[in-house]
Amino acid sequence: MTQLSMAALDELAIQRAKSGDLDALERIYRAYEGVVYSVARRICRTPEEAEEVLQETFLEVCRSIRRFRGTAPGSLTAWVKRVASSKALIRIRYEKYRDTEELVEDVKAGRKDQDVTVSIDLETALQQLSDTARAVVWLHDVEGYTHEEIAEMMNKTVSFSKSQLSRAHARLRKMLGEEVRC
């Protein structure tokens, strides 16, 4: 959905959604399901978990939208993304995964430098990061959250967020074979 249609959705549907109109709430769901699922997929480890986050996010949005006070353009998008990020972070906080970073060398060895596009390599490398590191790099570098906001959402310190980001980039650089030789 384009920014223009999202803005129109903000103007036309939010008031009805706030009053509990299910058709208006569905319009909001349709407008944001891709955005929410993408954020969830980037933070969660599996597509199934991302689907759970999608559902949890919209339950929260539908329950809480009457308290949503944003009026600035894009504020609904920002709020929905924030809810989705928080839900995804809560999920990875309680889910314990086997750390797959030891598989990095295997991934590098199996990569076809000439034939595979940069985005596929990056997708693979991103998935090899720890859940926390992947969440921080995505929220900071792509979604534009500050370290203070990430720390608040993760219930960690700003230093933790900064440290995770630099470690994530160092690992991505290594996995992508980008290290500069002096």
Binding site for other proteins (CB under 8 A): 20, 22, 25-26, 29-30, 33-35, 37-38, 41, 47, 50-51, 54-55, 57-64, 67-72, 74-75, 78-79, 82-83, 86-87, 118-119, 122-123, 126, 137-138, 141-142, 153, 162-163, 165-167, 169-170, 172-173, 176, 178, 180, 182
Nearer to other proteins, 100 or 167 (CB): 167
Nearer to other proteins, 58 or 91 (CB): 58
Q: Let me know the angle formed at the C-alpha of 139 by 61 and 50, rounded to the nearest 5 degrees.
A: 55
Nearer to other proteins, 92 or 137 (CB): 137
Helix residue spans in 44-157 (DSSP H): 47-64, 75-94, 104-110, 118-128, 131-137, 147-154
Nearer to other proteins, 26 or 100 (CB): 26
HSE (side-chain half, CA atoms, 13 Å) at 181: 1
| Neighbouring residues of 25: CB distance < 8 A, sequence distance ≥ 6 | 17, 61, 62, 65
